A and B are shown apart, each in its own frame.
Chain A
Amino acid sequence: MSDAALKLSSVSKLFESHGRVIKALDDVSFEIQAGKVTGLIGPDGAGKTTLMRLISGLLVPASGAIEVVGIDVISDPLAVQSQLGYMPQRFGLYDDLTVQQNLDLYADLQNIAYKDRQPRFDQLMNMTGMSPFTKRLAGNLSGGMKQKLGLACTLLRSPKLLILDEPTVGVDPVSRRELWEIIYQQVSQVGMSVLLSTAYMDEAERCDEVVLLHEGKLLMQGKPKDLSQPLSGRTFHISVEGVRHRTLQQVLSNAPDVLDALIEGEGVRVVMEQVVDAKAIVLPQVLTQETHGTVSIDPVKPRFEDAFIARLKTKSTITQQTTIAPLSVSSSADKAVISVDNLTRTFGEFIAVNKISFNVKKGEVFGLLGANGAGKSTAFRMLCGLLPVSSGKVSVAGLDLRVAAADARRRIGYMAQKFSLYSDLSVTQNLNFFSSAYGLSGKQQKQRLAWAITTFELENYKNTNAGNLPLGYKQRLSFAAALMHEPEILFLDEPTSGVDPLARREFWERTNHLAEMGVTILVTTHFMDEANYCDHLVIMEAGRILAAGTPLDMKNLARNDEQPDPSMEDAFIYLLNSNDQKHQAVIA
């Protein structure tokens, strides 16, 4: 087919809220080619979801025209809907139905002939690796499996155009790889065209083409490689022996010519404002004056993420309050703030957490990694005192939070995995409430509120209902709410899931800063590159601890001839696979 799979001509969409008209999409035009995977990229609130809903005929544009495989969406949405498959961010799986029942329902709705069904089901279940689970309730599936089932339901009758809204949010690396394999299989075998939005830049890089949206406007469109090309000569990998990468990153991101600094492996990846020669880079004095080891600066190939950042990042998003954090490598206090000893939790027959033990020291960033359903969240909830333990011991600041006096909870901050502030209250109201709940009042409360509003740049959203915030702002708000009372210990459960790279950078910058000031941070994540930010981490699988140590330890485990320089993700997948092969817990 030579025709475009999707054609948008000057599409605009307005929303009205509280008497203000917001331009969600502003004169957007582009085409996508048949048989290609196109990535829809943009920071939160750029209008990605609105665009997808317009294409699916769920919304009507204020002006402009949309054609899907040659059919006009506005005049004939039903015809379009029978040609496309759309998987919304929260796909409409029925939690109280089984996997098979969900498939049956969508097969009926997509008019799959009865005789064709069984082979198709088998094929999709094989492809997604879900054949053993067809009798399980969808509500009991892990996040990754839910997404795979959602995709399977959308693919039942190979649509001509497949639209996926953030299909990999909340999905662990293994499941993400599987999802991508399925998508590419569809493209290569059936010639399907795919439009997908994602917050993961490595995924954007896998697309044939990307469309970058920002504040409702189309910024650029093209091959990821072409888009990152202009940045060659501006990207470097810097490491300074004896300086912690977190400190290095903090210093570098404040350096004059540096646009962006991101932890990568044991060093920092920087994007410079202009093309420079590696030798011409002058590091800030703090890094060179002291008796540190050798400084190495190596040019690296630009990635799409760099292009994204270069295009969207305005320098100095955060004004650092302190100048430069002390460069001391050894942490002064070696006392364990959180200690977990043989912690176990069972739900009936099912062992969600199986005798795990670890210690977290003061001022440490401690990561809890694992695939969906590995038991991270269960362990987390026990630490916070939200769930009784079945056996074993938990102590946080020397106390068991479940039975400790309520005042002990004043010392912790908690940010749940799912956005869990009050959607029907405004930003200010939420912050006010949580600060009061933690015992803040009067002048102190006002100060903290002002601090939160400025630090997290929530000024424009002060009176917006929390439920209506773009995802990234929701995350900021949750983070702010958890920090209002200046806790000593922070629990962060998947804090960056589904958040765009810009917001993730800001988030980690703040987290690092807090850690430098002595706040103990326990974080779960399945962004493997984020694991690099942790001082220590444990990897969980099926309720057990698979490996524990520093990020470098983990990578060393996976280092071999095939993978001389494994990324964290490689290490993770290596560990999972080797565990599968041996069927036992390896390292403790």
Chain B
Amino acid sequence: MISPSNMRLWGIIRKEAWQIVRDPSSIAIAFVMPVVLLYLFGYGISLNAKDIPLGLVADKPDLITQSLQGSFERSEFFNLMTFNSIQEAQLAVDERLIDGIVWMRSNFSSNLQAGLDAPINIIINGVDSNQANITNGYIQGVWQAWLTHFAESKGVELSQTVQIKQRVWFNAALSSRMYLVPGVIVIIMTIIGSLLTAMVVAREWERGTMEALMVTPLRMKEMLVGKLIPYFILGMASMFLSLALAVWQFEVPLRGSFWIVIVTSALFMLVSLMIGLLISIVSKNQFVAGQLAIIITFLPAFILSGFLFDINSMPTAIQAVTLIVPSRYFVSLLQTLFLAGDVWPVIIPNSLVLLAMLIFFYVIVLRKFKKRLE
């Protein structure tokens, strides 16, 4: 025999499910959005530069400058353009035709052969500092390789005091897709959990259906749980879809155990849902709820979660702010679970923080969500 409480709970769950099925926009958010976002991040954007447009100026072209030019031309990183004078090249930088200039002055070859300081100037457009750094690194690489080769041909051994061998764990090719894809999953779950839920509950206030629900024997706890469960299932379904795409389509390795991914995702999903509910209770209209959800959950998930920007490098005060951003913990969890494996010292503290947040928001929501109209 079904208890009265369970019957009411079931009523709410079933109603929400019907509404989800009937509204194309919630289905779109849960299943179209993840695909679009994953493809955008997975294929669309990349921090791994190639074909950087680079200008080369040799004031006095000869065999040596041609040899260096050849090295740049052969490099897959560059798309080389030659200019007759530095003025022309500088103009091209201004017009954003090229990102940098390699400039060999007129005495370049003679000084090089004489073992003097060979004047080679590099000019890089530094607006995108990150890209400039990478470009500089690539130029250095081509230059070092060419120099070693040149020295060898002259029978001179190049002195290189420190030789660095780099070993990158978890993502040997330093492919940005490997860390962007887990981050996107966090964004998607934030959107479903907070934005969609906030809008849906705010709509009940706006349309007056909340008043009719309130005078039934429905308890607030049942109302809460009844709202949570369908969106929880929707969010988790979206999570599975993203997971499958990540692993099979984008070939991101899943090194941690599947079950831990599910459990931690469920935890994060619940925290997001609670925040969404809280937003809708506070705002009670869709305009404000939508704006608040974007401002409180979506943008921080983008910028303060460590998904794009390194938290350790932020100023201390901002680092303190990131501590209250739930997605921060989930980004850390997912990146570790995908790329590193079951690292318990990462999993346990992050999960505990999420759990604490869940309890905190649950208590707040219960307090705020009264069966009263005032």
A interface residues (Cβ-Cβ under 8 A, vs B)? 53, 56-60, 77-78, 81-82, 84-88, 90-97, 101, 104-111, 114, 150, 153
The answer to whether B215 and A94 touch across the interface, beta carbons within 8 angstroms, is no
Q: How many angstroms between the C-alpha atoms of A105 and B10 in the bound complex? A: 9
The answer to whether B216 and A110 touch across the interface, beta carbons within 8 angstroms, is yes
Listed stretches B17-25, B138-146, B355-363; interface member: B17-25
Q: How many angstroms between the C-alpha atoms of A424 and B229 in the bound complex? A: 34
The answer to whether B211 and A108 touch across the interface, beta carbons within 8 angstroms, is no
Beyond contacts A86-B212, A105-B14, A106-B11: 14 other A-B pairs, Cβ-Cβ < 8 A, are A58-B371, A77-B371, A78-B371, A82-B217, A90-B207, A90-B211, A93-B212, A95-B207, A101-B15, A105-B11, A106-B216, A109-B8, A109-B11, A109-B213
The answer to whether B19 and A59 touch across the interface, beta carbons within 8 angstroms, is no
Residue among B11, B211, B219 making CB contact with A58, cutoff 8 Å: B211
Query: Across the two chains, which residue of chain B brings its CB closest to A89?
Result: B208
The answer to whether B373 and A110 touch across the interface, beta carbons within 8 angstroms, is no
Chain B residue contacts of A87, Cβ below 8 A: 212
A81-B217, A88-B212, A110-B217 known; A53-B11 Cβ under 8 A: no
Residue among B7, B23, B213, B374 making CB contact with A111, cutoff 8 Å: B7
- Flag whether B210 is at the interface (Cβ < 8 A): yes
Q: How many angstroms between the C-alpha atoms of A109 and B6 in the bound complex? A: 10
Residue among B210, B219, B372 making CB contact with A60, cutoff 8 Å: B372
Residue among A56, A101, A111 making CB contact with B215, cutoff 8 Å: A56
Q: How many angstroms between the C-alpha atoms of A104 and B16 in the bound complex? A: 12
- Flag whether B4 is at the interface (Cβ < 8 A): yes
Q: How many angstroms between the C-alpha atoms of A91 and B373 in the bound complex? A: 15
The answer to whether B374 and A108 touch across the interface, beta carbons within 8 angstroms, is no
Query: Across the two chains, which residue of chain B brings its CB closest to A85?
Result: B215
Query: Across the two chains, which residue of chain B brings its CB closest to A156?
Result: B216
Query: Across the two chains, which residue of chain B brings its CB closest to A15?
Result: B374
A104-B14, A105-B11, A111-B8 known; A86-B215 Cβ under 8 A: yes
Counting from the closest, the 4 A-B pairs by CB-CB distance are: A108-B11, A92-B212, A92-B209, A90-B208
- Flag whether B241 is at the interface (Cβ < 8 A): no
Chain A residue contacts of B7, Cβ below 8 A: 108, 111
Q: How many angstroms between the C-alpha atoms of A82 and B23 in the bound complex? A: 32
- Flag whether B214 is at the interface (Cβ < 8 A): yes
The answer to whether B214 and A108 touch across the interface, beta carbons within 8 angstroms, is no
The answer to whether A111 and B217 touch across the interface, beta carbons within 8 angstroms, is yes
Interface mask (B109-132 → A, CB under 8 Å = 1, otherwise 0): 000000000000000000000000
Select the residue from A94, A110, A111 with max chain B CB neighbours within 10 A.
Answer: A111
Query: Across the two chains, which residue of chain B brings its CB closest to A102?
Result: B15
Chain B residue contacts of A105, Cβ below 8 A: 11-12, 14-15
Chain B residue contacts of A85, Cβ below 8 A: 215
Query: Across the two chains, which residue of chain A brings its CB closest to B13?
Result: A108
A78-B217, A94-B19 known; A108-B14 Cβ under 8 A: yes
Closest Cβ of chain A: how far from B206's Cβ, in Å? 11
18 contacts between A and B (CB under 8 A): A81-B216, A81-B217, A88-B211, A90-B208, A90-B211, A91-B212, A92-B207, A92-B210, A92-B212, A92-B213, A94-B15, A101-B18, A104-B11, A105-B15, A109-B12, A109-B216, A109-B217, A111-B217
Chain B residue contacts of A59, Cβ below 8 A: 372-374
Closest Cβ of chain B: how far from A471's Cβ, in Å? 15
- Flag whether B296 is at the interface (Cβ < 8 A): no
Closest Cβ of chain A: how far from B235's Cβ, in Å? 21
- Flag whether B266 is at the interface (Cβ < 8 A): no
Query: Across the two chains, which residue of chain A brings its CB closest to B285?
Result: A424
Chain B residue contacts of A97, Cβ below 8 A: 15, 18-19, 22
Q: How many angstroms between the C-alpha atoms of A95 and B18 in the bound complex? A: 12
Chain B residue contacts of A58, Cβ below 8 A: 211, 214-215, 371-373
B interface residues (Cβ-Cβ under 8 A, vs A)? 2, 4, 7-8, 10-12, 14-15, 18-19, 22-23, 204, 207-219, 371-374
Number of A-B contacts (CB under 8 A): 94
Chain B residue contacts of A77, Cβ below 8 A: 371
Closest Cβ of chain A: how far from B120's Cβ, in Å? 66
The answer to whether A94 and B216 touch across the interface, beta carbons within 8 angstroms, is no
The answer to whether B373 and A88 touch across the interface, beta carbons within 8 angstroms, is no
A88-B212, A107-B11, A109-B11 known; A96-B371 Cβ under 8 A: no
Chain B residue contacts of A94, Cβ below 8 A: 15, 19, 209
Closest Cβ of chain A: how far from B12's Cβ, in Å? 8
The answer to whether A81 and B15 touch across the interface, beta carbons within 8 angstroms, is no
Closest Cβ of chain A: how far from B353's Cβ, in Å? 35
Chain A residue contacts of B22, Cβ below 8 A: 96-97
Closest Cβ of chain A: how far from B246's Cβ, in Å? 33
Closest Cβ of chain A: how far from B21's Cβ, in Å? 10
Query: Across the two chains, which residue of chain A brings its CB closest to B211?
Result: A88
Closest Cβ of chain A: how far from B362's Cβ, in Å? 21
Chain B residue contacts of A92, Cβ below 8 A: 204, 207-213
Q: How many angstroms between the C-alpha atoms of A58 and B214 in the bound complex? A: 7
Chain B residue contacts of A60, Cβ below 8 A: 372, 374
Query: Across the two chains, which residue of chain B brings its CB closest to A53?
Result: B373
Chain A residue contacts of B12, Cβ below 8 A: 105, 108-109
Chain B residue contacts of A93, Cβ below 8 A: 209, 212
Closest Cβ of chain B: how far from A99's Cβ, in Å? 12
Query: Across the two chains, which residue of chain B brings its CB closest to A109?
Result: B216
A104-B11, A105-B14, A108-B8 known; A96-B23 Cβ under 8 A: yes
Chain A residue contacts of B18, Cβ below 8 A: 96-97, 101
The answer to whether A81 and B19 touch across the interface, beta carbons within 8 angstroms, is no
A108-B7, A109-B8 known; A57-B374 Cβ under 8 A: no
The answer to whether B10 and A108 touch across the interface, beta carbons within 8 angstroms, is yes
Chain A residue contacts of B219, Cβ below 8 A: 78
Query: Across the two chains, which residue of chain A brings its CB closest to B19?
Result: A96
Closest Cβ of chain B: how far from A326's Cβ, in Å? 48
Closest Cβ of chain B: how far from A232's Cβ, in Å? 41
Closest Cβ of chain B: how far from A548's Cβ, in Å? 38
Q: How many angstroms between the C-alpha atoms of A84 and B8 in the bound complex? A: 17
Q: How many angstroms between the C-alpha atoms of A53 and B374 in the bound complex? A: 11
Query: Across the two chains, which residue of chain A brings its CB closest to B217?
Result: A82
Query: Across the two chains, which residue of chain B brings its CB closest to A137?
Result: B22
Chain B residue contacts of A107, Cβ below 8 A: 11
Query: Across the two chains, which residue of chain A brings its CB closest to B23?
Result: A96
Closest Cβ of chain A: how far from B122's Cβ, in Å? 59
Closest Cβ of chain B: how far from A71's Cβ, in Å? 13
Query: Across the two chains, which residue of chain A brings its CB closest to B215?
Result: A86
Closest Cβ of chain B: how far from A134's Cβ, in Å? 14
Query: Across the two chains, which residue of chain A brings its CB closest to B374?
Result: A59
Chain A residue contacts of B373, Cβ below 8 A: 53, 58-59
Query: Across the two chains, which residue of chain A brings its CB closest to B220?
Result: A78
Q: How many angstroms between the C-alpha atoms of A107 and B216 in the bound complex? A: 10
Chain A residue contacts of B216, Cβ below 8 A: 81, 106, 109-110
